[in-house]
Amino acid sequence: MRLAFVFDAHILQHEPLGPMYIASYVRQFGHDVEYFSVDEPDYERLMRQYDPQVLAFSVSTGQHPRLLKANRHLRETLPNAKFSVFGGPHPTFFQNMILAEGVDATCIGEGEEPMGELLNALEKGDDWTGIQNLHCKMPDGTIKENEKRPFLPHLDELPFPDHDIKARFPHLKEKKVGFFIAGRGCPFKCTFCFNDAMMKMQKGRYVRYRDPDKVCEEIDMVRSKYGIELVSFQDDIFGIDVKWLEKFAPIYRDRIKLPFMCHYRSDLATERAVKAMHDAGCVRMIVGLESGDEELRQRVMDKRVKDEELYASAERCHRYGIELLTQNMFGIPGETPETAMKTVEMNMRIQPEVFIHYFFMPYPMTKLGEIAQEMGMFDGNFDMLPETYHTGLSLNIPHKDVLNAIGLNSYFMVDYPVAFHATRAFMKLFKSDKARLAWFKGMNVIERVMTKAGLRKEGCWYHEPRIGWRFNEDGSPKDGGTGTGRQVRWSRAQKKAMKEAEANRPRTSSVGGVAPNLPRAKRI
């Protein structure tokens, strides 16, 4: 069978590892796979030339209306494309997607085995409607929802994902970044995330690790073929088990010798874990700060990370020369302009090298999304959600326009503390949304003038890591010490709070921590 994965430019900002794993898996059975993007100028010509029999789409909420439309068009245009299957987050958690016109099946959860069985059945003309993890549209229009199979227990038994997608899309090759996963699953139950629903959807162990030797074998192969210079691990949380990290570190450092970045949690970033990250070659840690208001973070978002743990993890990253990227969410139910400003303030204090803002999206089957609907902030029409969560709020929430303005201006305030302090003082004096929006409009003018005059520094905007491989051939640090990144001078109050947090740190975070009133750290 000829299978065509159809993407858009949004998913192709990096290598789509899910479809890449499926491609390698189904090729074991003799099937052919190719990749296309609806944003390629001549993608229809390329698809007619390939003449696929099955169309596959990996879809996130917000992308789905456009890709559903593309599927309908391709089914009318391509003579042999008689079957369309949708997988990924949106059909997994919004299972009514199977009802959409032109959708023959949706894949719920992990897709390697169900897609292999589906293509085998279609090729042989066998019945495909009983395959586990698939929801099927029957000839009479009824829907058959099959049982879910257990999570794949041994990830090392899967073939490596098809990194030759780099050759298909030159921008992926030119970036010199390789995307990999060392494990699957996250054990935490943040209310804005899909993991809580996902771990209940299939049986078996949800959090699984690959063998460090296999991970490094894959990276070595991709480096040899495509000359990558930076490794980006896409795990929800990289190396949750510190023992795995300590096993991984010397293997990666001795064999790969490439800087890498990964996602982690602040309450896991102990001295031992951060040292293992440094010893492996980590140059950037991506952490979800989410909200600078501890009450919202812990009780509404159920992300049980204390303020002290966020400060302590930032201190360790700075000390070990690991760049810090924070992910920050604005506009969750219960958010106010004052709590949003706390998020800006915390970032201003811990000084991440990169700051990323998001606006809350009420994704299907997330607890916080359901709460938003119950509170009348969202009508449940997922077709109206935007493709990206960077542009603005989708909720009908009090002070929506002001929260949008704070989120969009957060980069400027983090980079220029005087702008933050002036804004907070203005907001204390003027409570009306109209006055506050006028203030932010003026801030936009100032930033534009500064940018045009070349005075706006790059600051915390996204950029690739500036730290390279930090070890000599014998494994010793090139700088003779622990790190090569910028240093931060922490105040006595900050040091005391972080020391107390480490001394009292439970094995898992608990609700009820008190936010320290810490001054902003000073650059050296």
Contact, 342 vs 284, CB < 8 A?
no
Quick check: helix, strand or coil at residue 286? strand
pLDDT of residue 496: 54
Quick check: helix, strand or coil at residue 33? strand
Residues 8/381/390/430 CA torsion (nearest 10 deg): 160
Parallel, antiparallel or unpaired: strands 2-7 and 54-58: parallel
* pLDDT exceeds 70 at position 502: no
DSSP character for 383? G
The three state secondary structure string of 101-120 is CCCCEEECCCCHHHHHHHHH
pLDDT band for 505, please (50, 70, 90 cuts). very low
Cα(440)–Cα(413) distance, integer angstroms? 11
Quick check: helix, strand or coil at residue 305? coil
Radius of gyration for the chain, computed over Cα atoms and rounded to the nearest angstrom: 24
* pLDDT exceeds 60 at position 516: no
Cα(325)–Cα(62) distance, integer angstroms? 25
Residue type at 318 in one-letter notation: H
Residue 290: exposure state from Cβ atoms within 10 A (0-12, 13-18, ≥19): buried
DSSP calls for 313-352: HHHHHHHTT-EEEEEEEE--TT--HHHHHHHHHHHHHH--
Contact, 193 vs 147, CB < 8 A?
no
In the sheet that 83-87 helps form, which strands lie side by side, from edge to edge? Answer: 32-37, 2-7, 54-58, 83-87, 105-107, 134-137, 143-145
Q: What angle do CA 189, 190, 196 make, to 5 degrees?
A: 40
CA-wise closest residue to 308 among 158, 45, 517, 20: 517
Quick check: helix, strand or coil at residue 151? coil
Cα(291)–Cα(333) distance, integer angstroms? 12
Mean of the per-residue pLDDT values of the chain: 90
CA-wise closest residue to 228 among 58, 14, 34: 14
pLDDT of residue 520: 36
Kindly report, residue by residue over 80-135, the tens digit of the pLDDT.
999 999 999 899 988 899 999 999 999 999 999 999 999 999 999 999 999 999 99
Kindly report, residue by residue over 266-298, the tens digit of the pLDDT.
999 999 999 999 999 999 999 999 999 999 999
pLDDT band for 302, please (50, 70, 90 cuts). very high
| Average confidence (pLDDT) over 147-156 | 96
Cα(67)–Cα(64) distance, integer angstroms? 5
Taken in order 78, 81, 82, 87, is the CA torsion positive or negative? negative
Kindly report, residue by residue over 207-237, the tens digit of the pLDDT.
999 999 999 999 999 999 999 999 999 999 9
pLDDT band for 503, please (50, 70, 90 cuts). low
Please give the residue that has the higher pLDDT: either 180 or 512: 180
Cα(437)–Cα(15) distance, integer angstroms? 39
Q: What percent of the chain has pLDDT over 90?
A: 81
Cα(64)–Cα(98) distance, integer angstroms? 12
DSSP character for 471? B
* pLDDT exceeds 70 at position 148: yes
How many other C-beta atoms can be found within 10 angstroms of the C-beta atom of residue 458?
8
Measured CA distances, 513 to 62, 297, 304, 468 (Å) = 36, 11, 9, 37
pLDDT of residue 523: 33
Measured CA distances, 132 to 86, 92, 202, 413 (Å) = 15, 13, 11, 50
